[in-house]
Chains A and B, each alone.
Chain A
Amino acid sequence: MKISGIQRQWWVGAVFFLLMLVLLFLEFYGKIFERGIGNYLKWQNASRPQLGRVWDNDRQTILAQTKVESVRSLFDSRQESAEAIVTLKALFENTEPSFPLVLSRKKFLDLYYDFPGQWSARIISPFELISIDSKYNWTRVLLKRFGQWFTISFLDSHNIPVHEVFVATDALKEVQSTRTVKQGSLEKVGFDQDRVYSAAVFLPLLRTLDPKTQHAVFPNPRWFLAKDYSITRIGVRELEFSKKTLSDFEFGIEYNTDYYTGVLLIPVSQEIANNLLSQIERTGFDVWGEEFSALAAPPVGDKP
């Protein structure tokens, strides 16, 4: 067999051989082969996949941090939602069997004393609270729901319950528990203008009532005074049939704050409502030595 190309062009072979020699020389002294591949790989590094142990660790770290973030945000959101609760009743209502609520001592006491009525004191007596406080150093409260019961656990700094109070879920159905607050004037929350009376009429009448009725229709005045709320008017309305589960009538106590007008809604029994209405509506009668005049609503809304 003849290899004519090589025979005819011997110099090609020589050049090739020389080239090989040069390459070997460069490889031996300059590591040209390793450098070339190394630099080529370096050049296209970014386009290659992130494989191997180092990247696995990296990925797992990212995964772990994502999970840590999600666990933390869930934890935070639970805490925030507990701290965002504005009434004691809402606190109980937001306690699901699978999600106990934890709130700070301050928040619990704020809600406890902020309830516009005697209901909070009926659930836990303030004397019981002060007795717990005198014996133990409690920092937080854990609220759990189990069947027909709520458990209020007073926790020390190690999360150990130092005292527990059990409250039946039926307590949420008591008339007193349903007191709520709404923003807006009496008319806006659904009271008829002809059943709206001036505070000047109502408050003197309130003073003449026996303590039990007073508690039934009005919170402790501290509730208004401490918040700097000024009472303006009082309204009475009969509840719609669908809402007449616990009471028939509802009192609305309108007040002005620095920023808005609000109404405290207090459900009352028919007997109390009739009794009060009959006294208020003695037309033209100067009940407490002052002229009964104002059925018309005073100006409401934001104060300047």
Chain B
Amino acid sequence: MIRYLIERIVFAFYVLTLLGVFIGLGSYFLLSRDLPQLPDDLRKINLSLSTEIYSAEGERLKVLGQRYPVPLEDISPNFINAIIAAEDASFYRHKGLDHRALMRALYMNIRERKILQGGSTITQQLSKNLFFSFERNWVRKIKELLISFQLEATFSKQKILEAYCNQIYFGNGAYGVEEAAQTYFRKRAQDLTVLQGAVLAGLPNSPNSTNPFKNYQRSMRRAEYILMRMVKENFISSEEKSEALSSPLELIRAREDDNPNRYFINYVLAKLESKYGQEFVHFGGLKVFTTLNTRLQEFAHMSALSHLEVLEGKMTRGLPEKKIQVGMVSIENQSGAVRVMLGGRNYSNSQFNRAVSNNRLPGSSFKPFVYLTAMERNGYNPASIVKDEPIIIEIPGTEPWEPKNFSDNYAGDIILKKALMKSLNSISAKLIQEVSPESVIKSARQFGITSPLGNNLSLALGTSGTSPLEMASAYSTIANLGIFNEPYFIERIEDFKGNPLYENFYHGVQNYSPKSIYPLLNMMQGVIDSGTGRIVRQMGFKHPAGGKTGTTNNFKDSWFNGFTKTFSTSVWVGYDDNEPMVDQSNKGLTGASAAAPIWAFYMDKALKGKNQIKFPIPEGIKFEKVDVYTGTLADNQSMETMNVALKEETVILPRAAEPSIAERDPSGLSTTSELTNVPNP
């Protein structure tokens, strides 16, 4: 019986052994086809050219894919011992596979019927990092094991450890021990203390949950465990462990990724990637010199933050996580260079770039394009009389449209310049009805507005979404007296040797004659000097400037777009979820109260110490003082007068003599024409 039993056991042993051998050989031949080739030198894996992004002043803004590989001699033994104790205590004894650790992991995984532990050695982890996906499955695990055998057979333990230390991820964007030491302790990897080494060694296993910035207690518990392992492995004594635990960690403040330049940088990278391809940007070793002016960007950021905080103090909304957001772009008029791009108030909280997003309505800040179309196509001029009154516009197939003024007050007869200064909705509605939405769209395109624009009358009140970038560029065309400069972000690109690959050249196109644009420019100066944007002057901004406010229904969006001779800047303010911005006194935030102060703060700082440059008056322009309510030349009967810039050929008539009774209109209707003072043919 016993003999029979032994025979059976021996037989089973044979069969199992043979089966094992066959399964082993079979799976090897099956998997070996997909096994990757190893490089001949592990140091090569860190050799890739990093692309650098520079500001207009030559400051390095970002380096893509930069690694800081260091030789093993330049890594503190405190860290090396800690990582070995934490990840692979028998590192110097095995040849790629730790039998005990594997058995332990196998047992745990079979018991739980899922992959919980890897039991991976440092060599296996390196193998995974270099060649394989992070997906957990058996096939990947076997391949990883085979490659780790080859790594052990090919390279020394020192080389493997060095490659591992330079490859692994330590959280907070730090790859490799040198970058990790800088990120957490602002010191070199060779200077790490025992405690610091233990804290860092605890990170590769779970870079987020044991991150000392995010969870200090858990991180310290993990470090304590690692120190205990170090004692067990005889790397340190118990006394040294206690000493380490009582020593200061010297953790620095977390480097918050709230750099406002990131919006600009990411936008530039996306543009480059779409033009040249991803690998060109990330592996090309380029030097990208951008137009961003970090000093101005900082001014913009500070202006926005300080004003938004003031506004939020007055808001009724109590949810602290819902912040008022901002989008801002500032363009240098002469060249079209984008000097400032603020996509939001805090990059680390929200990476959505509101400066280029066209999902918000510009409101009244779109009106200048309507006015210009009316002046260009239908002979209006800044002194033309229009009637501000409640209107109802019949639209076939739909409800009639009843555009109302912001204050629901109507001024009656008024000149066009004053209408724009007061941002009267009824006038814009009348003008677009007269010139047609199609022609307004055509004009807007000439100003560089590229977003889809609705072919409907409400376009006059800015009901099609545009971005601050587009608005700044469009207003820049006004400041440039009709020259549209394509906004650009990159001055030049060089390869890593400094050879030029690309350079930007000015591409200005005269889309409107200076004579056509100047009257509009002058009207927009009126907006800032004594119109809806007068807060800019009240805040002490003295440079000659023009602009326009914009506020959408229910105070969901506030805009202020304006220009000086040097810069055109667009500011949008609003909630991301489109909720109305209403303060505690139930007063809504307008373009003048929410966006214009940011504009004024920023422009004042940006132009500090600079000469106040007047806009050049082009040839063929004259100035007349006119009566605001009759559009005739100002005289002693005028209640309110205003200087307007007109094309030279425009004739402004003096006030007509009081007509005799016989001359009076028998119908008794107003003699005001919407087309008085049109240019002579």
Contacts and interface: CB of A to CB of B under 8 A. Distances in A.
Contacts of A161: 506, 508
Contacts of B10: 6, 13, 17
Given A54-B130, A159-B506, A41 B149 contact: yes
A279 interface: no
A153 B96 contact: no
B456 interface: no
B7 A46 contact: no
Please classify how large the interface on chain A is, using the bins under 10, 10 to 19, 20 to 34, 35 or more.
Answer: 35 or more
B88 interface: no
Interface centre among B14, B146, B149, B491 (most CB of A within 10 A): B149
A226 interface: no
A41 B280 contact: no
Contacts of B131: 51-55
B152 interface: yes
Interface stretch (A31-39, A103-111, A203-211): A31-39
A72 B495 contact: yes
Interface in A61-88: 61, 63-65, 67-68, 71-72, 75-76
Given A7-B7, A61-B48, A52 B506 contact: no
Contact of A3 (B7, B13, B95): B7
A250 to B, nearest CB: 38
Given A16-B14, A51-B131, A54-B131, A38 B152 contact: yes
Given A20-B17, A34-B96, A54 B39 contact: yes
A71 B505 contact: no
A63 B48 CA distance: 12
B11 interface: yes
Contact of A100 (B37, B153, B282, B505): B505
Contacts of B284: 64-65, 67-68
Given A61-B48, A75-B501, A48 B152 contact: no
B110 to A, nearest CB: 22
A24 to B, nearest CB: 11
A57 interface: yes
B97 interface: yes
Contacts of A55: 36-37, 131
A238 to B, nearest CB: 45
A102 interface: yes
Nearest to A23: B17
B643 interface: no
Contacts of A199: none
B501 A68 contact: yes
A75 B500 CA distance: 8
A71 B34 contact: no
A52 B150 CA distance: 15
B48 A52 contact: no
Interface residues of B, number: 56
A64 B279 contact: yes
Interface in B279-303: 279-280, 282-286
A270 interface: no
B149 A37 contact: yes
A6 B130 contact: no
A289 interface: no
B283 A57 contact: yes
A42 B153 contact: yes
Contacts of B276: 67, 71
B154 interface: yes
A45 B150 contact: yes
B277 interface: yes
Contact of A64 (B147, B280, B500, B503): B280
Interface string A282-297: 0000000000000000
A213 interface: no
Contacts of B11: 3, 6
A6 B7 contact: yes
The A interface is mostly helix, strand or loop, or mixed, namely: helix
The B interface is mostly helix, strand or loop, or mixed, namely: mixed
Contacts of A49: 34, 36-37
Contacts of A17: 10, 13
Contacts of A155: 505-506
A171 B11 CA distance: 102
B149 A63 contact: no
A41 B335 contact: no
B115 interface: no
Contacts of B147: 41
Contacts of B107: none
A160 interface: yes
Contacts of B491: 158-159
B495 A41 contact: no
Interface centre among B36, B147, B491, B495 (most CB of A within 10 A): B36
A60 B282 contact: yes
A139 interface: no
Given A45-B37, A48-B36, A160-B334, A38 B154 contact: yes
Nearest to A102: B505
B432 to A, nearest CB: 31
Nearest to B11: A3
29 contacts: A3-B11, A13-B14, A20-B17, A31-B95, A37-B149, A38-B96, A38-B152, A39-B153, A41-B32, A41-B149, A42-B38, A42-B154, A45-B37, A45-B154, A46-B37, A48-B35, A51-B34, A51-B37, A52-B132, A54-B36, A54-B131, A57-B283, A58-B39, A60-B283, A65-B285, A67-B280, A68-B284, A72-B501, A155-B506
Interface of A: 3, 6-7, 13, 16-17, 20, 31, 34-35, 37-39, 41-42, 45-46, 48-55, 57-58, 60-61, 63-65, 67-68, 71-72, 75-76, 100, 102, 142, 146, 153, 155, 158-161
Given A38-B150, A159-B505, 20 more contacts: A3-B7, A17-B13, A38-B153, A38-B154, A41-B147, A42-B38, A45-B154, A49-B34, A51-B34, A54-B130, A58-B39, A64-B49, A64-B280, A67-B277, A67-B280, A67-B284, A68-B284, A71-B276, A75-B501, A159-B504
